[in-house]
Structure 1
Amino acid sequence: MTGTDLAQGTAAPKAKRGLAAKLGPWGVFFRGFVEHPVMVGSIIPSSRFTIEKMLGPVDWDRCRLFVEYGPGVGTFCQPVLDRLRPDGALIVIDTNPLYIDYLKRTIADPRFTAVLGSAADVEKIVHENGHDGADYVLSGLPFSTLPDGVGPAIVDGTYDILREGGAFLVYQFSAKARDFMARRFKRISSGFEALNVLPCRLFWGWKDAEPVSAAQAEEAPAKVAAVG
């Protein structure tokens, strides 16, 4: 299944999208969860404690491009924009047009771009928006429930688009996300946030100088498993 297939498969009638845009962020988020629970993964947005801890390791002075997968109603968007340098950029990617329409209506920052598509196509999306790479990529996608092959494709695309010294930031209710990350990221830091519904596991996969190719990850996955 391609990223385009995923995006098209979640398309909703314009009338429904217009009605959703009039709802508050909680209403929009809840509706998105009800319609696509497998892709959203949570019934409510992340807590401010999760946001602070997740973004804590980011070196904002060096961040020229920040990418987010599955932004929902923008729980992380404004905190990222508040920290992002004036000449930086934030690209968010979601397969749900309900969320993309809402974000385009509510965030006017010129550094912000919302894209309807799949995170598996991150390299194409980043290049089409005029960037040669990303410094940080954030994801709350439920890796364990994504369609077959999509999780590994997202990790591969993320690793390849990250600049050296960058990181893949992942927050999940399950530790299984780390298994997906370890196929490419040799160094993974981990954390935990209890003040979230549900309590949340946090991971930071760092792209160090020594590259790990997709072929190497397939041939010897045990060698790229990380120690947090």
Structure 2
Amino acid sequence: MAGYEALAERKPTRLKQKMRRFFGAWGVFFQGFVEHPVMVGSIIPSSRYTIRKMLRPVDWERCQLFVEYGPGVGTFCQPVLDRLPRDASLIVIDTNPLFIEYLNRTIHDSRFVAVHGSAEDVEEIVRAHGHEQADYVLSGLPFSTLPEGLGPRIAAATYRVIRPGGAFLTYQFSNAARNLTAQHFDRVDSGFEPLNILPCRLAWGWKRKPDAAASNG
């Protein structure tokens, strides 16, 4: 390869590295959006108001495994870790290796595991890390723009992996995630957060606990 050709190949990489260093998490998030717009829900990370409202219903004392789909640069990761019990775990799953590399480089917590993979494989991923089920699953994936058939497969796998009494937490700009959640979960609570760019629709899909009478019978 000629010297000028090698230099031409290195320039974009160096430019990306400079952008990441200058803009920090925002630069990484923007690059991830540009490279994989279909898989990233927004060009801007969620606001602290969205984070607070989304996590409010979680029973943290009973949470041993929290899973997140599409963590991006970790907007929710530290708030979850701040609330999570010391003996619990947070597993995040993302198809973008750029985000996984960034998270592993910036989050140093023994309870944290970042997996490069697909949310539709959540059951296998959870088992591979020594768990049978998750207490809560959080998703900011853009279900309305995912490849055909992927959204329903993710929703079905999520229902199976969540323990009875647990919940599937979603935030999105449309009702696509809520509608998919309603097809599987026993109860869906809805919310809205205007203090977000763009304003965000929230949903909590709850998996019913086994009826006490039925379990005793």
TM category, shorter: 0.7 to 0.9
* C-alpha deviation, 1:186, in angstroms: 2.2
Q: Is the 8 A contact 1:164 1:208 kept in 2?
A: yes
Q: Segments of 4+ in structure 1 off by > 2 A?
A: 15-23
For 2:68 and 2:20, the matched residues in 1 are separated by 21
| Worse-superposed segment, 202-211 or 119-128 | 202-211
* C-alpha deviation, 1:209, in angstroms: 2.7
User: Which structure: larger Rg?
Assistant: 2
Q: Is the 8 A contact 2:164 2:210 kept in 1?
A: no
Q: Secondary structure at the match of 1:87?
A: coil
For 2:36 and 2:198, the matched residues in 1 are separated by 18
Following superposition of structure 1 onto structure 2, how do residues 49-64 of structure 1 map, counting pairs within 5 Å? 49-64=49-64
The one-character-per-residue Cα deviations of 1:165-219 (angstroms, maximum 9, x if unpaired) are 00000000001221111121120000000000000000000000369xxxxxxxx
Q: Is the 8 A contact 1:51 1:76 kept in 2?
A: yes
Following superposition of structure 1 onto structure 2, how do residues 1-228 of structure 1 map, counting pairs within 5 Å? 16=13, 19=17, 22=21, 24-209=24-209
Structure 1 residue ranges without an equivalent (≥5): 1-14, 212-228
Structure 2 residue ranges without an equivalent (≥5): 1-11, 212-217
The one-character-per-residue Cα deviations of 1:100-150 (angstroms, maximum 9, x if unpaired) are 000000001000000000000000000001111100000000001101111
For 1:21 and 1:176, the matched residues in 2 are separated by 32
**Equivalent residue letter for 1:154:** I
The one-character-per-residue Cα deviations of 1:20-64 (angstroms, maximum 9, x if unpaired) are 764500000001011111100200000000000000000000000
Partner of 1:221: none
**Equivalent residue letter for 1:60:** W
Q: Is the 8 A contact 1:173 1:199 kept in 2?
A: yes
* TM-score calculated relative to the size of structure 1: 0.83
For 2:20 and 2:123, the matched residues in 1 are separated by 29
* TM-score calculated relative to the size of structure 2: 0.87
Q: Secondary structure at the match of 2:137?
A: strand
Q: Is the 8 A contact 2:20 2:27 kept in 1?
A: no
Alpha carbon RMSD of aligned pairs, Å? 1.9
Q: Is the 8 A contact 2:68 2:92 kept in 1?
A: yes
Q: Is the 8 A contact 1:21 1:98 kept in 2?
A: no
For 1:75 and 1:119, the matched residues in 2 are separated by 18
**Equivalent residue letter for 2:45:** P
Identity, in percent, stands at: 69
